[in-house]
Structure 1
Amino acid sequence: MRVIRGLHNLPKASQGCVATIGNFDGVHRGHQAILDQLRERAAKLGLPVTVVVFEPQPREFFAGDQAPPRLTRLRDKVRLLAECGVDQVLCLPFNDALRSLTARQFIERVLVAGLGVRHLVVGDDFRFGRERDGDFALLARVGEECGFDVEHTRTFLLDDERVSSTRVRTLLASGNFAQAARMLGRPYRLAGRVIVDQQLGRTIGVPTANVPLLLQPLALRGVYAVITELSDGRFLPGVANIGWRPTVGSKRPVLEVHLFDVNEDLYGQRLRVYPCARLRGEITFDGLDALKQQIKVDQTQARHYFARHGLMVTAAATTQESEARQDAAGFADDAASSAASSISRSTGLPLASAPLAREAATSDSSVGPAPTDQDDG
């Protein structure tokens, strides 16, 4: 798949394409249905599938820190789009120049002159251009003039509920990882490379692998029972703190993972961390002794959770077990679930549908409803 950054990097002579436009944050099952729709049309026309995205996302540009948390970074979004059969991604910088374009200018410069769009798939509530003055009707009207067709997307429902990035964020914030995974079509995960940090965990007897996070609003914040996939394919249980570590005063958010019964050098490794159950929110402790005591409680709670689901938490998973989990794909829509948790048949990940303990929502916690915002798909 080809990633094109900016209109100026588009090939001079475009042969046309079938395209869609949007944030595609999370690349959830609703997005996947749109991409299926695109591929069907592209196959009939013999044209490549193109997705137009923006960086930053428009609401991040306008709202800054008040924008909804991202579900996927750009590199992860691109990877997921490639897995869905997209041929090229046009990533447009969302800046003052782009926001100043009228809807008709956007159509003429980006869709017609830039991409040579032959068929466009968007939602019937899609708005774009300066002052959001462009809509589906305008696209259809200009499309007739410029030689491209416009088709509206099919709504994707799960349990009679529209799948959207906003809904997935709410599920994650409330600790319902089981339903979030069903809407995403895969378990939610965070990924990144382990860096040398303060090494505070080692000094208090709890070594951690620290992965820096982007300076953006966090979809999750708190302490979680997690399964971590190492670069060698092993899946290991543990506990993770996601956030700002208020007791030690971090300057940026960090994913801090402690693996049970493992003492390995993980610096430089790329980890994939799957939150399975929420334990609590971030807390500012009076000192390191109080922090150490709470960490023991967190570890015990996470070990008990994994033990209830038949996972060995006193030894690393074998490579064969890891490969078996990797070979499985997708989630069954009728995956068994209870009020407390659900185990995915395909990956073996015990994904909770609620936090393991009641807690009051605070500024340091992602539990509870997500901030009110318009549905961004």
Structure 2
Amino acid sequence: MIVIRTPDELKTALAGASVTIGNFDGVHKGHQALIKRTCVKATASGLTSAIVTFDPHPLRVLTERKTPPFITLTDQKLELISQFGPQVALVLAFTREMAALSPEQFVQHYLVDGLNMKELTIGYDYHMGKGRTGDHAMLTQIGDRLGFGVERLDPVALEGAIVSSTRIRDLVEAGDVWDARPLLGRFYQVSGEVVHGMKRGGKLLGFPTANLKLVDELFPKPGVYAVWVEVDGQAHEGVANIGKNPTFGNDALSVEAHILDYDKDIYGRDIRVHFVQRIRDERKFNGIDELKERIRRDVGIGRQILARPEGRIKITQPSIEDTAQ
């Protein structure tokens, strides 16, 4: 997948493009349906499949209130999108000036002139342009004038509820990472560089941990989780703690992953932690021995969870898929 920031970066003009557009926060099952449909239509019509998204998220530009944490930052979002086969991703720098464009101005400049769009696929609730007036009906009218077709997909629903970024965010923040998995089509994940922590895990407790330098925005509810830890494209069983280590009186949030049966030095390396299931709340223990015994129990529970077929994953570069799919 070619990633561009302006259509001018394309070395040759597109003969025609099948396009979908959105924020795609989380690249969940609903987003995946849009991307897959766009690629199918491109193949059938001999067009280039193109995804258009924004950085920063429009909410960061248009609202003065604190925005909710996003599920995927831009780099991870693009990595996930690439797994579904689009040929081009146009990442537009969202500004107030862009927000002031009418739907027709935006479509004409970026999609028709920029990408030579012939087909547009949108979600059931998609709106664009000034005042969010560019709905399905208006875009269809614009398409009739400018020479492209518009298809609106129905929402993707699981267990009677529409798959949405808000629903996934609520589940993750509540610690219900197991229930977020079917909506995402994967386990919820965070990435980061392994940095030196307080050096208590191995020397004091007998359970060395990889401490992540936090760059993601959305983290599961503090507690202990069964996880898969991805190092250099290999998945390793693990147990992770999210929280402030109340037994030691810490104040800062940390993510620490104990990789089971693993003794390699990974300081300075980037790893990915996939959250499978919550084991327990974080709590304060009366002493080191009580904490060590509880960690031993957590590791045993984690092994049981990760041994189940539905709790396992396999690495298929560059993506991570669930073996139950």
- Give the TM-score category using the shorter length: 0.7 to 0.9
Determine the structure 1 residue equivalent to 2:72. Answer: 72
Query: Is the 1:221–1:282 Cα contact (8 Å) retained in structure 2?
Result: no
Query: Is the 1:188–1:275 Cα contact (8 Å) retained in structure 2?
Result: yes
Residue 159 of structure 1: CA displacement? 2.4
Alpha-carbon separation, structure 2, partners of 1:8 and 1:291: 62
Unpaired runs of 5+ residues, structure 2, are: none
The alignment status of 1:235 with 2:236, answered yes or no, reads yes
Quick one: structure 1 residues 270 and 64, their matched pair in 2 at CA, closer, same or farther if it must change by over 3 Å?
farther
Query: Is the 2:177–2:220 Cα contact (8 Å) retained in structure 1?
Result: no
TM-score by length of 1: 0.73
Quick one: structure 1 residues 234 and 159, their matched pair in 2 at CA, closer, same or farther if it must change by over 3 Å?
closer
> Which deviations, in whole Å up to 9, do the C-alpha atoms of 1:107-127 show, x marking residues without a partner?
121112212111101124321
Determine the structure 2 residue equivalent to 1:302. Answer: 298
- The one-letter code of the counterpart of 1:105 is Q
Residue 85 of structure 1: CA displacement? 0.8
> Which deviations, in whole Å up to 9, do the C-alpha atoms of 1:358-377 show, x marking residues without a partner?
xxxxxxxxxxxxxxxxxxxx
The alignment status of 1:169 with 2:195, answered yes or no, reads no
Alpha-carbon separation, structure 1, partners of 2:306 and 2:8: 54
Determine the structure 2 residue equivalent to 1:181. Answer: 181
Query: Is the 1:123–1:136 Cα contact (8 Å) retained in structure 2?
Result: no
Residue 61 of structure 1: CA displacement? 3.0
Determine the structure 1 residue equivalent to 2:212. Answer: 211
Task: Supply the RMSD in Å over aligned alpha carbons.
Answer: 3.2
1:279-298 correspondence runs (5 A) = 279-280=279-280, 292=288, 295-296=291-292, 298=294
1:80-229 correspondence runs (5 A) = 80-199=80-199, 201=201, 204-205=204-205, 206-214=207-215, 216=217, 218-223=218-223, 224-229=225-230
Quick one: structure 1 residues 47 and 267, their matched pair in 2 at CA, closer, same or farther if it must change by over 3 Å?
same
Query: Is the 1:70–1:219 Cα contact (8 Å) retained in structure 2?
Result: no
Alpha-carbon separation, structure 1, partners of 2:103 and 2:129: 4
Determine the structure 2 residue equivalent to 1:357. Answer: none
Alpha-carbon separation, structure 2, partners of 1:259 and 1:65: 39
Quick one: structure 1 residues 83 and 310, their matched pair in 2 at CA, closer, same or farther if it must change by over 3 Å?
closer
- The one-letter code of the counterpart of 1:170 is D
Query: Is the 1:193–1:211 Cα contact (8 Å) retained in structure 2?
Result: yes
Quick one: structure 1 residues 259 and 43, their matched pair in 2 at CA, closer, same or farther if it must change by over 3 Å?
closer
- The one-letter code of the counterpart of 1:228 is V
1:2-81 correspondence runs (5 A) = 2-11=2-11, 13-63=13-63, 66-81=66-81
Alpha-carbon separation, structure 2, partners of 1:119 and 1:236: 44
Corresponding residue pairs, total: 316
Query: Is the 1:34–1:154 Cα contact (8 Å) retained in structure 2?
Result: no
Identity of aligned residues (%): 32
Alpha-carbon separation, structure 1, partners of 2:303 and 2:198: 31
Residue 309 of structure 1: CA displacement? 4.3
Larger deviation, residues 240-249 vs 110-119: 240-249
Quick one: structure 1 residues 112 and 65, their matched pair in 2 at CA, closer, same or farther if it must change by over 3 Å?
same
Residue 46 of structure 1: CA displacement? 0.4
- Of residues 234, 241, 250 in structure 2, which corresponds to 1:248? 250
Residue 102 of structure 1: CA displacement? 2.4
Alpha-carbon separation, structure 1, partners of 2:165 and 2:293: 33
Residue 311 of structure 1: CA displacement? 4.5
Which one has a larger percent strand, Structure 1 or Structure 2? 2
- The one-letter code of the counterpart of 2:120 is L
Alpha-carbon separation, structure 1, partners of 2:194 and 2:65: 26
- The one-letter code of the counterpart of 2:266 is L
> Which deviations, in whole Å up to 9, do the C-alpha atoms of 1:136-170 show, x marking residues without a partner?
22211111111111110132222232222222222
Quick one: structure 1 residues 141 and 221, their matched pair in 2 at CA, closer, same or farther if it must change by over 3 Å?
same
Question: Secondary structure of 1:70's match?
Answer: coil
Alpha-carbon separation, structure 2, partners of 1:84 and 1:3: 14
Alpha-carbon separation, structure 2, partners of 1:131 and 1:75: 28
Determine the structure 2 residue equivalent to 1:353. Answer: none
Alpha-carbon separation, structure 2, partners of 1:74 and 1:133: 26
Unpaired runs of 5+ residues, structure 1, are: 313-321, 332-343, 347-377
Query: Is the 1:194–1:268 Cα contact (8 Å) retained in structure 2?
Result: yes
Question: Secondary structure of 1:40's match?
Answer: helix
> Which deviations, in whole Å up to 9, do the C-alpha atoms of 1:55-89 show, x marking residues without a partner?
11112334477323222222222122111011111
